[in-house]
Amino acid sequence: MVTVGTIVWLSSELMFFAGLFAAYFTIRNISPELWDQSTQLLNVPFATANTTILVLSSVTCQFGVFAAERGKPGRSGSIWQFSQWGMREWFVLTYVMGAIFIGGQALEYAELVRENVTIPSSPYGSLFYLATGFHGIHVVGGLLAFLLVIGRTFAARKFTHEQAISAIVVSYYWHFVDIVWVGLFATIYLIK
């Protein structure tokens, strides 16, 4: 039930982001010269590196799911033996990568504000911050979910099937957030 509910909820989130994409393309079509000027200020190499970190975090998240499916909450070997890692280690690494992504977004926001790209400065600024900001809020929600799942494994005496299902559901959310970002990245940074 939790899995189906999560998929239905993520479908509604998809519609929310579809609305943001529609607004972005509509306003872009109305004032293309504004887009030409504003997109020149974007740091595409930095955003590409930040995107790579987020996309790779989906890989580490999935390794955590594989460990949870095997009933392995924690590592059985040295911290440097990645093949012996459990769900916790993979989810902690995913958490760190997601936090780095959020830090990168904050740096990019600071750089754009210095260039006078703000929410009230133009329709471009409004849509840029709305789309990337709402995505960032979703990433922070995913980071909190990782902390919850990791914390539950420490609090429980035994790793249960329900905890594995929780890990899988959190991974659905995380993969969704990553896929949305790939779409946003392509739309905002690559399509000039």
> Whole domain around residue 133: which residue ranges?
2-190
What angle (nearest 5°) sits at the alpha carbon of residue 58, between those of residues 4 and 108?
A: 115
- Name the DSSP letter for residue 190: I
Structural domains counted in the chain: 1
**H helix runs in the chain, sequence order:** 2-30, 32-39, 44-69, 87-114, 123-155, 161-185
Q: Give me 55's structure tokens.
A: 């996309």
- Would you write out the chain's pLDDT as a tens digit for each of its 192 residues? 666 777 777 777 888 888 888 888 888 888 888 888 888 899 999 999 999 999 999 999 999 999 999 888 777 877 888 788 888 999 999 999 999 999 999 999 999 999 999 999 888 888 999 999 999 999 999 999 999 999 988 887 788 788 888 899 999 999 999 999 999 999 889 887
**Tens of pLDDT along 146-169?**
999 999 888 877 887 888 888 999
Torsion of CA 40, 20, 123, 99, to 10 degrees: -60
CATH number of the domain residue 31 falls in: 1.20.120.80
Q: Give me 168's structure tokens.
A: 């899988």
* Per-residue pLDDT, 58: 96
